[in-house]
Amino acid sequence: MEDSSANSAASAEPVSEPEARPAEPVSAIPAEELARITDDIVSALKTVYDPEIPADIYELGLVYKIDIEDDRSVKIDMTLTAPGCPVAGEMPGWVQDAVSTVEGVSTVDVNMVFDPPWTPDRMSEEAQVAVGWY
């Protein structure tokens, strides 16, 4: 008869240490200043309006991502309500100009993306009220 305790010990999986999680990204910009810059960027974005819709691009949900780098450069991913929007060529410049006025921002790069496509579901309640959809 075999010794089952010997077999089970030999075939047992070794207990492993929990996987190490990567550290949360830490910004070189102090948290309080980063929060102020972020708020000011959002305020600047709210000054840019889609000329066909009486709501700003932020409340319309056209801004998908705002990244603030340690060198205070800002990268914005945004979209349009439709790829054939008549101001498609001008809107990134409007956004860049508005965000460039924010104190503490060094440069602004605006990237137009169309995935995922914009839908009215991305609009805030404020934008829905402005266009009469609420």
- The residue ranges of every structural domain in the chain are 29-126
Burial of 5 from C-beta contacts in 10 A (0-12 / 13-18 / 19+): exposed
pLDDT (0 to 100) of residue 25: 59
Which of 70, 62, 32 has the alpha carbon at shortest distance from 45?
Answer: 62
Nearest-angstrom CA–CA distance, 113 and 94: 16
Nearest-angstrom CA–CA distance, 99 and 74: 8
Burial of 36 from C-beta contacts in 10 A (0-12 / 13-18 / 19+): middle
- Output the tens digit of pLDDT for each of the chain's 134 residues: 444 444 444 445 544 455 555 455 567 899 999 999 999 999 999 999 988 888 999 999 999 999 999 999 999 999 998 878 888 889 999 999 999 999 999 999 999 999 999 999 999 999 999 888 86
Residue 51's contacts (CB-CB under 8 Å, 6 or more residues apart) are: 86, 87
pLDDT (0 to 100) of residue 52: 83
pLDDT (0 to 100) of residue 19: 55
Nearest-angstrom CA–CA distance, 17 and 112: 43
Instruction: Copy the structure tokens of residue 8.
Output: 């089970």
- Range 29-126 has CATH code 3.30.300.130: yes
Nearest-angstrom CA–CA distance, 128 and 122: 10
Beta bridge partners of 65: 77
